[in-house]
């Protein structure tokens, strides 16, 4: 793991990605601890729609709230939802993918058809459907995004797992009677770590975007809790009067996605055996 | 100078800095018209790279010729230095002056075109023939490579043909341009012995007919013995010895050539079988297989009865402690399926496999063919060796550690191997690791499924030695699956010959090898290349293996056996 981080840091786009993710995590932690320049919820009634200044670094919104502080808490909100949903999707998708590859036959058919149905919907549409049924909120967003990305993980795991299942070392394990759990974890899952790590990083980027989209539509995080998508939505009518209200959250979302994507690309390069230098 | 091809001090390097990373380090040789040069060496010796430099295909693999010259006399009499020629000139050389056939006939044919179209393309590109002319030329060349019923084969796709047929198609494509030099890069390595013999006989005949020169690359010195006029032995990028075939084989000068000749198991028709471990009169078998049948259903139709591949059909044998039973036969004859059924990796359709309760809960263990695929690359040696023990309820304690280091030492691996990963070992070392792992549970029987086939000859000899030592030390019984008769001769006490899913001959090794009774065994043994038999010539034999796909409900007639001697049984053949 330490070796992976250091080679990630040596990769040019990996380094940029890591720095961006690091900054976001820092902002998220500070936001959680309440170490923001101002209270993100406090209304400074006389300072409405102020342009960025020394007091309000990113300006204030229509109600006079500090945009920078809100952004920090918003990043925390987005990261929390992205990490939680991707974690759930990774675990669920990996289990489904592994088991359908291992059991094969009818189970493979059932699992993968369900996944196909989920995959057939555009991500936002499926999330909308789930939220329409359950009602909006942070937890619903996490659940919705997790369900949307589970099939992708199931697919990513199932393919290589099918080919690993045919490998001689799995046959060898069967000849000395290793338990199913041992074969699944040590022989299959351990060899799937590389593709999974890449997929997790890329999924984090998509989750960030999906979360922003849901909040923008008013279906994710509910006001007054700040979130990136919500801030964008509030700024929409004030675009000409207070462009900073739109620019900063938009750039924040964009940079965040860029950071995860760059890291994911770098990981793919590093973990791909074809580009990997043999360490003898 | 009268030679066709003259290579002087050829050096080829790879990578960013080809001069520092040389694979071929100063090779020189000459080739006259109609002459055959055999280049022999183990993997990584630079034999293929040397040959690929002659038509500069080496450039496409990332190689650079850093030094030396390759003087090729072209058909119009001009001499060209291939080493310095530009890509445009080279296009005229490849195919027309220098033809090539590759190792793997499946991957070197395009799967989406019919073989006829591919041969016609060769004629169009080299001789400008089109339409009916090309068609006629194609039929003609298919006849020359002895493909029966050529007219209908033209419409076949590569996957519809057997490996031997495909290699003939490759040869036909190379012949299409009437090359003056034909480079054959391990053309028979992927093929079965009897098919190999067919291809070798064909190449020899074609050489007589066309008078082309040949460069024959192989790791099997016994194979070139029969076809080469001269032999060049390569090691680590250097030609350590070259000379007339008879001289090199009978009176080798260089140590490495001698080593290679000693390491290669020479097939001697039963003269070199083991003398130890004769079967005692009334010994109780540890494994008894009775009338084993394994079938795989084929066909996807829902309501129709399915046919089946009769992979193993009524196989019976037994194995006593301390004995090696070799199962020989060609790919697809059911020998691996039999082995896998013994371990429960395939389910059996019928029959009985009785294993005596032996020293451990799992008395039968297995070593696989490919040492690269049978070890999980993500686990270190300690985890790999511990797996069988842990799977059977042992704990990871000092006793287990002791057993691991003992076995590592016994198979000739260093103690510090425990913390290393499989990719840090060579093929031979990995196979030793697999053997150690198979012995972890102290089994009575070890199934060796082509366990030494993927190894280089000198490594192969050492691993065979190790296997014999281990057998004597631990009293192991081996079920040794192999297609290589020379290897089998070294290790087997008894031999079972399998053909089309059935055992056709079973008996004491010396009797089976020196006095084969069944027509298939005879064919198999005649096809083994051997240095002693290099002067013999074989006719091109076109016998094909029958299809094993049977209609639903098909049952083979019960086997009739006759005794051909003490412990030597032969299946009675149906007279057609």
For residues B47, B50, B55, B58, the Cα torsion angle rounded to the nearest 10 degrees is 90
Examine residue A44 and state whether it is found in any structural domain, yes or no: no
A276 assigned to some structural domain:
no
Domain, as residue range, for B136: 36-51+94-263
Residue B88 domain flag: no
Is residue A278 a part of any domain in this protein? no
Please count the residue pairs, one from chain A and one from chain B, whose beta carbons lie less than 8 angstroms apart.
69
H-helix or E-strand containing B213?
strand B213-218
**DSSP string of B64-93?**
EEEEEEEEEE-TTS-EEEGGG--HHHHHHH
CA distance to partner chain A, nearest, from residue B20 (Å)? 18
Other CB atoms closer than 10 Å to residue B218's CB: what's the count? 23
Q: Is residue B535 part of a domain?
A: yes
Structural domain boundaries enclosing A74 = 2-35+60-271
Give me the pLDDT at residue B299, please.
66
Which backbone phi and psi does B42 adopt, to 5 degrees?
-85, 175
Residues B563 and B414 in one domain: no
Reply yes or no: is the peptide bond before residue A224 cis, omega within 30 of 0: yes
Domain co-membership, B129 together with B258: yes
Which residues have C-beta within 8 Å of that of residue A251, sequence separation ≥ 6?
none
In-domain check, residue B200: yes
Residue B499 burial (C-beta neighbours within 10 Å; 0-12, 13-18, 19+) = buried
Structure confidence at residue B542 (pLDDT): 60
Highest mean predicted confidence (pLDDT) among A86-100, A113-127, B474-488: A86-100
Write down the pLDDT at residue B280.
64
According to the model, what pLDDT value does residue B60 have? 84
pLDDT bin (cut points 50, 70, 90) of residue A254 is very high
Look at residue A278 in the predicted model and tell me its pLDDT: 40
**Residue B19, in any domain of the structure:** no
A174, A187, A278: residue with CB nearest B345: A174
The residue among A176 and B283 whose pLDDT is bigger is A176
Global confidence as pTM:
0.81
- Indicate the residue among B384, B411, B442 that finishes a domain: B442
| One domain for residues B214 and B131 | yes
Say yes or no: B437 and B478 in one domain.
Answer: no
Closest residue in A to B421 (Cα) is A280
Q: Are residues B341 and B392 in the same domain?
A: no
| A173 occurs within a structural domain | yes
CA distance A33 to B272: 81
CB-CB under 8 Å, B391 with A178: yes
**What pLDDT score was predicted for residue B537?**
64
pLDDT of residue B461: 87
Does residue B220 sit in the same domain as residue B301?
Answer: no
B217 lies in some domain = yes
* Angle (CA) A187 A197 A14, round 5°: 140
Give the A-side interface with B, CB within 8 Å.
Answer: 167-169, 171-179, 182, 186-187, 190-191, 193, 278, 280
Half-sphere exposure of B391 (CA within 13 A, CB side): 26
Is B437's CB within 8 Å of A172's CB? yes
> What residue ranges of chain B have pLDDT lower than 50?
1
In chain A, what residues touch B449 (CB-CB under 8 Å)? none
Q: Indicate whether B110 and B191 sit together in one domain.
A: yes
Please give the Cα distance from B349 to B328 (Å, whole number).
Answer: 22
Task: Out of A203-212, A264-273, B68-77, B120-129, give the one with best mean pLDDT.
Answer: A203-212
Whether A52 is covered by a domain: the verdict is: no
Domain assignment present for residue A27? The answer is: yes
Domain boundary among B263, B280, B313: B263
In a domain, B113, yes or no: yes
Instruction: Note whether A175 contacts B365, CB cutoff 8 Å.
Output: yes
- Compute the nearest-CA separation of A200 from chain B (Å): 20
User: How many structural domains are present in chain A?
Assistant: 1
Question: What's residue B539's pLDDT?
Answer: 63
Running DSSP on this structure, what letter comes out for residue A187?
I
Q: Which positions in chain A touch B343 (Cβ < 8 Å)?
A: 174-175
Q: Is the ipTM of this complex over 0.85?
A: no
Same domain, B274 and B248: no
Read off the pLDDT band of A93 (50, 70, 90): very high
Whether chain A has a CB inside 8 Å of the CB on B375: the answer is yes
Q: Which of B382, B412, B442 is the last residue of a domain?
A: B442
Q: How many domains does chain B have?
A: 3
Confidence of residue A159 (pLDDT cuts 50, 70, 90): very high
pLDDT digit string (tens) for A5-16?
888 888 888 899
Please check whether residue B260 is in contact with residue B457, taking contact to mean a CB–CB distance below 8 angstroms.
yes
What confidence tier does A125 reach under pLDDT thresholds 50, 70, 90? Answer: confident
Task: Give yes or no: residues B254 and B107 share one domain.
Answer: yes
Are B391 and A175 in contact (CB < 8 Å)? no
Domain-embedded: residue A48: no
Query: Are residues B379 and B346 part of one domain?
Result: no
* CATH (domain of B205): 3.40.50.300
Mean pLDDT of A81-94: 95
Phi-psi region of B529 (alpha: psi -120 to 50; beta: other; left: phi over 0): beta
Joined together, the tokens standing for residue A36 give 């923001």
Tell which residue, A88, A93, A263, has the closest CA to residue A161: A93
Q: What is the DSSP code (8-state) at residue A66?
A: B
Q: Which CATH number fits the domain that encloses residue A242? A: 1.10.3720.10
Q: Classify residue B229: in a domain, yes or no.
A: yes
B186 and B298, same domain (yes or no) = no
Task: Please determine, for residue A167, whether its predicted confidence score (pLDDT) is greater than 60.
Answer: yes
B433 located within any domain: yes
pLDDT of residue A277: 44
CA distance B373 to chain A (A): 5
Same domain, B42 and B180: yes
User: Sign of the C-alpha dihedral, residues B567, B463, B342, B286?
Assistant: positive
């Amino acid at each position: 793991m330490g070796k992976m981080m250091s080679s990630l840091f040596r990769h040019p786009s990996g380094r940029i990605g890591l720095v961006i993710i690091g900054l976001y995590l820092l902002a998220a932690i500070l936001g959680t601890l309440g170490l923001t320049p101002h209270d993100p919820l406090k209304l400074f009634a006389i300072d409405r729609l102020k342009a960025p200044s020394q007091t309000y670094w990113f300006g204030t919104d229509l109600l006079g709230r500090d945009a920078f502080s809100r952004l920090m808490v918003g990043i925390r909100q987005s990261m929390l939802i992205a990490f939680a949903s991707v974690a759930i999707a990774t675990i669920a998708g990996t289990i489904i993918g592994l088991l359908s590859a291992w059991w094969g036959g009818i189970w493979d058919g059932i699992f993968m058809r369900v996944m196909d149905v989920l995959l057939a919907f555009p991500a936002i549409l499926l999330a909308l459907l789930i939220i329409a049924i359950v009602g909006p909120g942070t937890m619903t967003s996490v659940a919705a995004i997790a369900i949307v990305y589970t099939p992708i993980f199931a697919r990513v795991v199932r393919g290589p797992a099918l080919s690993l299942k045919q490998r001689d070392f799995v046959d060898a394990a069967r000849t000395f009677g290793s338990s199913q759990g041992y074969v699944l974890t040590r022989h299959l899952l351990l060899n799937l770590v590389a593709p999974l790590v890449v997929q997790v990083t890329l999924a984090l980027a998509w989750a960030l975007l999906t979360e922003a989209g849901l909040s923008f539509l008013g279906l994710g995080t509910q006001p007054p809790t700040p979130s990136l998508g919500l801030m964008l939505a509030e700024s929409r009518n004030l675009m000409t009067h207070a462009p900073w209200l739109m620019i900063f959250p938009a750039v924040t979302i964009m940079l965040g996605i860029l950071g995860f994507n760059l890291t994911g690309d770098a990981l793919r390069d590093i973990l791909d055996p074809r580009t990997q230098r043999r360490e003898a | 100078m009268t030679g066709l091809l003259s290579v002087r001090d050829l050096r080829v390097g790879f990578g960013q800095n080809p001069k520092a990373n040389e694979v071929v380090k100063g090779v020189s040789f000459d080739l006259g018209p109609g002459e055959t040069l055999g280049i022999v060496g183990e993997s990584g010796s630079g034999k293929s790279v040397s040959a690929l430099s002659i038509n500069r295909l080496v450039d496409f693999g990332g190689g650079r010729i850093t030094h030396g010259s390759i003087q090729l006399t072209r058909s119009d009499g001009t001499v060209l230095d291939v080493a310095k020629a530009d890509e445009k000139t080279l296009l005229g050389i490849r195919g027309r002056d220098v033809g090539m056939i590759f190792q793997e006939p499946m991957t070197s044919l395009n799967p989406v075109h019919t073989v006829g179209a591919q041969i016609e393309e060769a004629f169009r590109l080299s001789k400008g023939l089109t339409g009916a002319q090309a068609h006629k030329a194609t039929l003609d060349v298919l006849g020359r490579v002895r493909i029966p019923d050529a007219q209908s084969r033209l419409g076949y796709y590569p996957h519809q043909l057997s490996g031997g047929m495909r290699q003939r198609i490759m040869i036909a494509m190379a012949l299409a341009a009437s090359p003056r030099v034909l480079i054959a890069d391990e053309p028979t390595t992927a093929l079965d012995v009897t098919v190999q013999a067919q291809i070798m006989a064909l190449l020899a005949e074609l050489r007589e007919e066309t008078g082309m020169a040949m460069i024959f690359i192989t790791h099997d010195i016994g194979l070139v013995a029969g076809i080469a006029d001269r032999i060049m032995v390569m090691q680590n990028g250097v030609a350590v010895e070259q000379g007339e075939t008879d001289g090199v084989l009978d009176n080798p000068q260089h140590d490495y050539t001698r080593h290679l000749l000693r390491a290669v198991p020479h097939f001697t028709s039963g003269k070199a079988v083991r003398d130890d471990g004769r079967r005692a009169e009334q010994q109780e078998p540890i494994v008894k297989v009775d009338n084993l049948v394994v079938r795989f259903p084929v066909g996807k139709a829902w309501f129709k009865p399915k046919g089946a591949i009769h992979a193993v059909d009524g196989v019976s044998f037994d194995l006593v402690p301390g004995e090696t039973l070799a199962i020989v036969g060609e790919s697809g004859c059911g020998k691996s399926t039999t082995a896998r059924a013994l371990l429960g990796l395939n389910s059996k359709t019928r029959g009985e496999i009785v294993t005596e309760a032996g020293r451990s809960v799992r008395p039968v263990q297995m070593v696989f063919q490919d040492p690269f695929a049978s070890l999980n690359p993500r686990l270190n040696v300690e985890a790999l060796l511990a797996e069988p023990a842990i799977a059977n309820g042992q704990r990871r304690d000092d006793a287990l550690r002791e057993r691991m280091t003992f076995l590592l030492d016994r198979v000739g691996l260093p103690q510090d191997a425990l913390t290393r990963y499989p990719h840090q070992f060579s093929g031979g070392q990995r196979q030793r690791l697999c053997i150690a792992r198979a012995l972890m549970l102290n089994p009575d029987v070890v199934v060796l499924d082509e366990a030494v086939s993927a190894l280089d000859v000198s490594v192969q000899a050492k691993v065979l030695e190790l296997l014999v030592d281990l057998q004597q030390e631990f009293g192991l019984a081996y079920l040794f699956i192999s297609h290589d008769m020379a290897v089998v001769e070294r290790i087997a006490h008894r031999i079972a010959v399998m053909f089309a899913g059935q055992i056709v001959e079973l008996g004491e090794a010396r009797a089976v090898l020196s006095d084969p009774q069944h027509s298939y065994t005879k064919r198999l043994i005649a096809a083994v290349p051997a240095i002693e038999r290099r002067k013999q010539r074989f006719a091109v034999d076109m016998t094909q293996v029958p299809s094993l796909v049977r209609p639903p409900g098909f049952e083979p007639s019960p086997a009739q056996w006759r005794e051909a001697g003490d412990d030597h049984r032969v299946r009675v053949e149906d007279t057609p």
